[in-house]
Amino acid sequence: MAAGLVLLGATAAAALPAAASTPGPDTAVVDSGAGWTVTRAAGGYVVSLVLATALPVKDDTPELLADGQDLGPAAESADGRTLTVTTGDQSVATAKAVSWQWSSGGNSTAVGPSVLPSEGAQLRAQQKARPTTPGASGTSGTTSGDPTTIGKGSYTIADYNFGAQAIPLADIGGIRGELEGRIYLPTAGGAHPLVIFLHGRHSSCYNTTTLKGASGSWPCPAGTAPILSYAGYDGAGEALAADGYTVVSISANAINANDNQLSPDDGAVTRGQLVLDTLTMLKAANDARPVSYHDAAAGQDVTLDQALAAGRSTYPAGTLTANQLANTMDFSKIGLMGHSRGGEGVVTAGTLNNALPHPWNIKSVFALAPIDFTRATLPDVVTTTLLPYCDGDVSDQQGQHFYADSRDNTFQDNVQRSDIWVMGTDHDFYNSSWTPPYPGAADDWSNVNDPVCGTSATALASGKNTRLTAAQEYQVGSAYIAGFFESTLGGQTGFQGMFDGSGKLPSSVAPYADIRTVAQQPAATREDVTTFKDASPLVSTTGAVTATVCASKYGRTVPEVLPYCTNPGSTLTNQQVPYWTPAAFAPPLNPMTHVAWTGTAGGLSVTIPPSERNVSHYDEMTVDMSPDESVTTGTDMTLSVTDSSGHTWSDLVSHLNAWGVSRMPGSTSTLLGKIVLQQVHVPTSALKQAGLNLTRVSKVTFTPAAGADGTTTAGAYLSDLGFDSKDLGTARVRVRPTVNVASTTATSMLTRIIRRSPRHSTCPT
């Protein structure tokens, strides 16, 4: 296992973007075409493509292709007009064409509307699309309270700004960036749990005349002003502060203006280190020690009191002083939330933290619509990932790998992990500063006429439209961010059902939100019968049923010994298979078992080993499953559990959680109709009521049945069958062995891209 994770770090590092090699005196153009060149460089070739216009600012990243072969992530020039990859692949010297695409697939540069649709029209569309007779789903009522209900505690808000170039930034070309943000501080005495927010990649500045985004340089040039992305999470920040949490939302505009040009990993390490540097600053303030940074842009040192005074230009009501911050933060309870590239940033902060001799007490991480270019993994920390279904930016929802890559005892740790899919939400509107009419804001779902995710009059009249209003989406984000930290840092058990797979919804969003959660409980409260990731003598099939362990989607991964999970002749795009999103030179992606059947005779059985048959101390049995692409609307299976005396409990999966056998919403868009595992729950109390002896449960069987498609020929994916009881587990702070792949130039079968970055990979102990 450790060796596999070391390899993960090495291969991921090989695929990350970096500034192009500088051609030397012996370089020569060896190939060229319309707008592109291939130049010989030390150890390989530099492939460059000139664009007609600069790419839009997105959290996704561009890649270059030569004759359709992916060369990996590309560095952008300072003006955003040229993309460059350095490679050791000799075939580029005779390429006939060079093109580009986004990492998630496709090369659309379209942006959505910068004006919100009528809220009334959206609400009517939601009502029209809501099923009149909903089937069984993964939701189970509401929480006992709502995380966004403002508590009785008083709090104050203040911005701080040490200057546009107040701190050296890690691994991004030696530049400096701002140390700026917003503090939500409870006014009650004592130290409070500390939560850090980190926004993602968005325009750093906006044109003060046109109000359009104007990124590309930092500090903001004349005629432009900074976009306050850090100020976009007030809903969650204020709710937490009112309940006694100190929240600090930090700015990363300098990183956003430079990461695609200068960073070897699109800013992952830079953002992670900014989080750790902010904790260092806050710890000094909490200890009442002097805090001062040198702002190179202004050529002056700035104290914390001066930074707080400067912050009144962006939050005039702020009255906070440095003295008032002393002894207000409990550094034994730290939580991190990151949005988009900020999501990868906070996960990277957790990984970098593992390598520190005295790591911070990071207990929980919330990744909101994150990217995962580096395939990072995070041990010992309670983690949840929120994934918007109508994400038009990170449209392959690659951030779900934070859950998938860290589960199943990868680290022998003892923490809960979960994925939360929110239907009908886009990427940006979880941040109010990224939502129209804020300058530089637009809907990232650009296909306005799409019947499922679009917002035009045509889309809203389709009867299939799932889009939430901007206000509804923001409320969902605020509720889940606040509820997560109240649960993981504050022990508020009433909110744990939002994250542990129970399907509890906050009362403020329950009337309109379709939210689907998959969770894995801590090792101490879970018994894995089979993960379905490997061929196992416990698993057998009979009759018209076949089962194949598979992994990945055809495309860019390293050679795979397992068959691909997509069907032969599959037309599924990268965006439709988040579990198997191809990544250049990445390790195999999410093995699971593909079950197919041509009739109802036979089934798939899992024999439970004798040593694991006593499940009386667990609350439920769970299995993750999804129909495959041969299913149009829905299929079905009968799930049965048998004890050693032959007593059997059975029910249709559609009665337990219809999402487990139903396709996700789709249209003609190649971004929708995704294959996403859903979690099916069977209470052990139901097994006992059916007469089973819970100390002698011996077999679980899946039998084909006709579903919504009305056919008995279909297929499904299975993963993670086991018994568990819901619990957060125990977050743990410890130094772990960490592999650092330093910047290097190498050519081998695993490193086709020459260059790259520090890459930290945590290994299990």
For the chain, the C-alpha Rg in angstroms (whole number) is 26
Quickly list H helices, 558-690. Answer: 653-656, 684-689
Q: What pLDDT shows up at residue 5? A: 36
Topology classification of domain 131-437+469-522: Rossmann fold (3.40.50)
Sequence-distant (≥ 6) Cβ neighbours of residue 257 within 8 angstroms: 204, 205, 215, 216, 217, 218
CB under 8 Å, gap of 24 or more: what pairs does 738-747 form? Answer: 738/351, 738/354, 738/355, 738/762, 738/763, 739/5, 739/6, 739/9, 739/10, 739/763, 740/355, 741/9, 741/10, 741/13, 743/264, 745/42, 745/43, 747/43, 747/44, 747/88
Task: Give the residue from 374, 434, 371, 428 showing the smallest Cα distance to 397.
Answer: 371
pLDDT tens digit string along 481-528? 999 999 999 999 999 999 999 999 999 999 999 999 999 999 999 999
Helix (H) / strand (E) element for 249: namely strand 246-250
Question: Quick one: residue 288, left, alpha or beta (phi over 0 = left, psi -120 to 50 = alpha)?
Answer: left
Distance CA 202, CA 214 (A): 10
Distance CA 289, CA 319 (A): 20
Task: Note whether 714 and 597 are within 8 A (CB).
Answer: yes
Task: Note whether 275 and 252 are within 8 A (CB).
Answer: no
Cα→Cα distances 39→18, 36, 99, 100, 747, Å: 16, 10, 16, 17, 17
Cα→Cα distances 125→316, 417, 496, 629, Å: 40, 34, 31, 28
Mean pLDDT lowest among 48-57, 192-201, 610-619, 649-658: 48-57
**And the tokens for 30?**
């060896």
Cα→Cα distances 145→149, 416, 508, 517, 548, Å: 8, 22, 9, 19, 44
CB under 8 Å, gap of 24 or more: what pairs does 78-81 form? Answer: 78/216, 78/261, 79/54, 79/216, 80/51, 80/54, 80/55, 80/216, 80/260, 81/50, 81/51, 81/53, 81/54
Average pLDDT over residues 131-135: 57
Overall size of the chain counted in residues = 765
| Average pLDDT over all residues of the chain | 91
Sequence-distant (≥ 6) Cβ neighbours of residue 206 within 8 angstroms: 212, 213, 214, 224, 225, 227, 439, 440
Task: Note whether 604 and 614 are within 8 A (CB).
Answer: no
Task: Give the residue from 409, 413, 344, 346 showing the smallest Cα distance to 373.
Answer: 344
Q: What pLDDT shows up at residue 151? A: 82
DSSP 8-state code for residue 55: P
Distance CA 376, CA 343 (A): 11
Task: Give the residue from 742, 650, 655 showing the smallest Cα distance to 707.
Answer: 655
Phi, psi of 167 (to 5 degrees): -145, 135
Decide if pLDDT at 760 tops 60.
Answer: no
Mean pLDDT lowest among 144-153, 287-296, 379-388, 575-584: 575-584
DSSP 8-state code for residue 284: H
Distance CA 282, CA 320 (A): 14
Task: Give the residue from 548, 616, 552 showing the smallest Cα distance to 579.
Answer: 552
Decide if pLDDT at 109 tops 80.
Answer: yes
Decide if pLDDT at 749 tops 80.
Answer: no
| Domain range annotation of the chain | 2-110+741-762, 131-437+469-522, 525-724
pLDDT class of 70 with cuts at 50, 70, 90? confident
Decide if pLDDT at 681 tops 80.
Answer: yes
Q: Do the bridges between strand 300-303 and strand 636-643 make them parallel or antiparallel, or are there none, so unpaired?
A: unpaired
Task: Note whether 201 and 259 are within 8 A (CB).
Answer: yes
Task: Note whether 277 and 169 are within 8 A (CB).
Answer: no
Q: Give the CA count within 13 Å in the CB-facing half-sphere of 201.
A: 26
Q: Is the dihedral of CA 737, 742, 746, 750 positive or negative?
A: positive
Mean pLDDT lowest among 19-23, 291-295, 306-310, 402-406: 19-23
Q: What pLDDT shows up at residue 666? A: 96
525-724 placed in CATH 2.60.120.260 = yes
